[in-house]
Amino acid sequence: MRKGNTLYYLFLPFFVVYIIFILTPVIRILTFQSFTYLVGSGTSGIWKSIYYTYLLALVVGLVSVGFSIPYVYFTSRNGSKTVKALDSLVELPIMIPHTVVGVMMLILLEPSMPLGSFIARIIPGYQFDDTFFAVIVTLLFLSSAYTIRSVQLAYARDTMKFENMARTLGLSASRSFFIVAIPIMWKSILRGLVLTWARSISEVGSLLIVAYYIFPSLVQLAGVYIYSQINSGGLSPAVASSSILILSGIVTLFAVKLLESGNDRIR
- In the chain, the domains with their CATH numbers are 46-220 (1.10.3720.10)
Pick from 219, 67, 87, 75: nearest CA to 143: 67
| Residue of 131 and 162 predicted with greater confidence | 131
Which is more confidently placed, 157 or 21? 21
The pTM score is: 0.84
Q: Which residues contact 86 (CB under 8 A, 6 or more apart)?
A: none
pLDDT value at residue 175:
81
Chain Cα centroid distance, residue 209: 19
Contact in structure between 183 and 107 (CB atoms under 8 Å): no
**14 pLDDT higher than 90:** yes
Name, in order, each residue with C-beta under 8 angstroms of 183's C-beta and a sequence gap of 6 or more.
none
C-beta separation of 93 from 142 below 8 A: yes
Q: How many residues does the chain have?
A: 267
Stretch 99-123: mean pLDDT = 92
Structural contact between residues 133 and 104, judged by C-beta atoms closer than 8 angstroms: no
How far out from the chain centre does Cα 32 lie?
28
Average pLDDT, the chain: 86
Q: How far apart are CA 201 and CA 159, in angstroms?
A: 30
- 33: nearest Cα among 41, 23, 25: 41
Q: Are 105 and 137 in contact (CB under 8 A)?
A: yes
Rounded Cα distance, 126 and 254, in Å? 39
User: What does the alpha-carbon distance between residue 206 and residue 153 come to, in Å, rounded to a whole number?
Assistant: 28
| pLDDT given for residue 40 in this prediction | 63
